[in-house]
Structure 1
């Protein structure tokens, strides 16, 4: 009779509704920056360059500073600045495209979600 050694279960991070919302806000911001780049600038150049470069730059910044496995560990205030820069750029992009309702709704939802996340991060 062989029994496998018991391994302690790793603590799984708790994922709440705001974490799911934040994930979709991130994706929306990255896609928004791409749409803005392609639509706000003449094609093929610089539209293609900005349409691909803006979301790529935002994704790299998010990966370096904001992801759970971030390369650079920064304090919650630094994380907030990175998040505000990316989400504000996406909202401004929608505003420049003549979509103020999308810009304002996205900015308000992102701000409320960010405040909730920041309070949780500072409390924990």
Structure 2
């Protein structure tokens, strides 16, 4: 039987491994989109697509999926969109006759997504707030009129 501390250490190790896999996938995705654009079309369109497609993906990624993005997609949309982009990049490699790298990219993408879902499920972040339990940062504010006895609140101390 695993001790609670062991489970945490395993999850921390898996989280680190998954982060490394995700970084490798992100870089490989950009390279794959470049190769797809560059090798799928004749010059100058191939060069243009080879530069523009990865650029559009970088902008999309930084706007919707980066850890500090203001409009970051919520769970599970973020890992599913990442999986879709990684698989499309892998298919792009297969289209330009780079089959083995394309298959490796897609297998790593599925592994990354599966590990993300496993770690998210095990982290307990899916818990719903309990009824009647407010979070500490939530405060109930209510205007009380003189003579209103419906709110039997103690007076606030003067600061």
| SS at 1:16 equivalent | helix
**4+ long deviations beyond 4 Å:** none
Q: What are the superposed Cα offsets for residues 48-104 of structure 1, whole Å, 9 maximum, x if unpaired?
A: 221111111111111112111012132222112321221022111111011222211
Greater Cα radius of gyration, structure 1 or 2 = 2
SS at the partner of 1:42? coil
Q: How do residues 1-124 of structure 1 correspond to structure 2 at under 5 angstroms?
A: 16-44=16-44, 46-124=45-123
TM-score normalised to structure 2 length: 0.63
Q: Give unpaired runs (5+ residues) of structure 2.
A: 1-11, 124-159
Q: 1:38–1:51: 8 Å Cα contact kept in structure 2?
A: yes
User: Higher relative contact order at CA 8 Å, sep ≥6: structure 1 or structure 2?
Assistant: 1
Structure number with higher helix proportion: 1
Instruction: Provide the rounded CA distance (Å) in 1 between the counterparts of 2:83 and 2:58.
Output: 14
TM-score after normalising by structure 1: 0.79
Q: Judge conservation of contact 2:37–2:53 (CA < 8 Å) in 1.
A: yes
Task: Deviation per CA, 1:9-51: give whole Å up to 9, x if none.
Answer: xxxxx6612101210110010111011111111111x112211
